[in-house]
Amino acid sequence: MSNLISHSAIWAALKTHQAYIAPIHLRELFALDSQRFERFSVKACGLFLDYSKNRLTADTLDLLQQLAVEARLQDWIVRLFQGDKVNNTEQRAALHIALRNRSNRPILVDGKDVMPDVNAVLDKMRQFSDSVRDGEWRGYTGKKIQSVVNIGIGGSDLGPAMVTRALKAYHHPRLRSYFVSNVDGTHIGEILDELDPETTLFIIASKTFTTQETLLNAQSARQWLTDKLGNDKAIAKHFVAVSTAKDKVIEFGMDPANMFEFWDWVGGRYSLWSAIGLPIVVMIGMDNFEKLLDGAHQLDQHFETAPFKKNLPVLLGLIGLWYSNFFGANSQAVLPYDYSLSLFPAHLQQLIMESLGKRVTRDGDRVDYSTCPIIWGAPGNNGQHAFYQLLHQGTHCVPADFLIAIESQYQLAGHQDAVLSNALAQTHALMMGRTPEETKQALVSNESLPHRVFPGNQPTNTLVYQKLTPQILGTLIALYEHKVFVQGICWGINPFDQWGVELGKQVASTLLPALQSNEADNVEHDLSTDGLLKYLKAHRYSVTRFS
Ligand code: G6Q
């Protein structure tokens, strides 16, 4: 007897139910129920979610909630919040919720309350960011800091970069923010070209402090700085580190006093709430960062306590699963009608796909159902003039989340009305489509009829908030983090490990010496890789340094 959720009676019931729902068009669901919008919308934590434009009925939601019960979601939520080692393959807790535990209730890991350490690091972040922002912290030559460069990759880059971009309206007027992640020298090279070493602060962000890309970029930044300022002593005034690995930070040549700590129970893609958020704090100030934490904490409390039928992450998680497993939808789009959220889809790509892109359960059994959909997206309006064609008339079922800010950061006449009307027009058109009969009325001849018909029936969620404040942003990010947890639990997989990232790192470590050596290679890979390696070696050019 299999333990897989797909072998449960409730899964079979959902399959049968899907056969009933599949032929019904969303138009009909609306026609059948004048209360559909009221019935399938919910308001919590400053967010309004309209999920009525989904291919579901009240029966669907009942069945999906039974699936969550079957997966023991409520027990798992309790386990997550009490600091159990829910990341079973790494034997770790996943306590991003402790980082924003504004109630300060004790949270125990191995019997020890983590809150005093969390609060001590937050205090240190406040002191440091205040001194940089006030101009007390000076560079080696006595000048105030003007540029803040975060060097990190993956979870040590995407979250902080997204939040810093999103909260540009809150930036300190003197400071400019930069994020270096790519190991291609072009990334750091282009940024260093713009900077003045006397007024630049580097934040080296790496949980492990062993990541090749980050360490190389950090070395290049250090070299650039000491070359320009002519003294190694300048490092202490221009470099700080964020890491869990103090010994490695010291080994790299940095003063541990300039290090901000976090812990192994913080996963990379869940780490922006920790000291990894330092580049955010320097730009927006600690008071605003605390509002970001407050927003996430509010959502945490909602997730922990709201009944499943009113629980935003549970609803979004189950609706997403409905399409992935019962409609064969293999991708999901995130479409913010809020330009400040330009980097939100990229952050969600890592958060969701690194967490759920797995094919075995937490016990190591191969699943026989789809898990993570491919996540993609871009800010609204831009996407309309690019890829929305596929949403309207392509062959895929692509459930999409529309995120709508009622107010923009800039009140320019006419702009926000254009944003809001376009967002509504798209979800309406995706749902309704245009029938052949309706299309005929709009055409002079029948010639191009099939090309002008829209099937509609594309499901969307619409999430509305007043304005992107730090608080609302914290809420939004936490919403998707917990949506991931809901789906991970229902699929029986561990959303907190990332073994898939390892293999590439290991292979790169054998290819790097092979690429650098002038000798014939004695490691064999495959004929294509060996052939490419030879070609690259034959066509290499010499290393250039920063001028
Ligand atoms: C995130 C992943 C991964 C990680 C990077 C950077 O959950 O673990 O994206 O964040 O590989 O790792 P370091 O912070 O250790 O440099």
Query: Residue 546: what pLDDT?
Result: 45
pLDDT digit string, tens, across residues 276-297: 999 999 999 999 999 999 999 9
Atom in ligand 1 nearest the alpha carbon of residue 214 = 16
3-class DSSP state of 62: helix
Pocket test for ligand 1, best of 150, 151, 156 (most atoms within 8 A of CB): 156
Residues 6 or more apart whose Cβ sits within 8 Å of residue 310: 42, 44
Catalytic-role residue among 168, 309, 505, 534 = 505
The amino acid occupying position 278 is: L
3-class DSSP state of 450: helix
Query: Residue 542: what pLDDT?
Result: 55
The amino acid occupying position 175 is: L
CA 369/CA 67 separation, integer angstroms: 14
Query: Residue 523: what pLDDT?
Result: 67
Q: Name the residue at shortest CA distance from atom 8 of ligand 1.
A: 268
Catalytic-role residue among 198, 261, 290, 354 = 354
Atom in ligand 1 nearest the alpha carbon of residue 243 = 14
Query: Residue 521: what pLDDT?
Result: 64
Q: How confident is the model at residue 348 (pLDDT cuts 50, 70, 90)?
A: very high
pLDDT digit string, tens, across residues 394-417: 999 999 999 999 999 999 999 999
Q: State yes or no: is 354 an active-site residue.
A: yes
Query: Residue 198: what pLDDT?
Result: 98
Residues 6 or more apart whose Cβ sits within 8 Å of residue 178: 147, 148, 149, 150, 191, 195
Distance between Cα 260 and ligand 1 center (Å): 16
Query: Residue 362: what pLDDT?
Result: 97
Residues 6 or more apart whose Cβ sits within 8 Å of residue 63: 10, 13, 14, 17
CA 498/CA 305 separation, integer angstroms: 29
Q: Name the residue at shortest CA distance from atom 1 of ligand 1.
A: 268
Pocket test for ligand 1, best of 496, 501, 502, 505 (most atoms within 8 A of CB): 501
b/e 17-40 (16+ beta carbons within 10 angstroms → b): bbeebeeebbeebeeeeeebeeeb
b/e 291-327 (16+ beta carbons within 10 angstroms → b): bbbbbbbbbbbbbeebebeebbbbbbbbbbbbbbbbe
pLDDT digit string, tens, across residues 215-241: 999 999 999 999 999 999 999 999 999
Q: What six digits make up the tokens of 220?
A: 């290049």
Q: How confident is the model at residue 544 (pLDDT cuts 50, 70, 90)?
A: very low
Atom in ligand 1 nearest the alpha carbon of residue 208 = 15
Query: Residue 540: what pLDDT?
Result: 81
pLDDT digit string, tens, across residues 130-185: 999 999 999 999 999 999 999 999 999 999 999 999 999 999 999 999 999 999 99
Catalytic-role residue among 38, 385, 451, 519 = 385
Q: State yes or no: is 537 an active-site residue.
A: no
CA 410/CA 425 separation, integer angstroms: 22
Residue matched to tokens 């094919």:
359
What number of residues does the chain have?
547
- pLDDT higher than threshold 60 for residue 547: no
What integer is the mean pLDDT of 448-458? 94
Q: Name the average pLDDT for the chain.
A: 95
Any residues with Cβ below 6 Å from ligand 1, and which?
153-156, 206-208, 211, 214, 267-269, 354, 498, 501
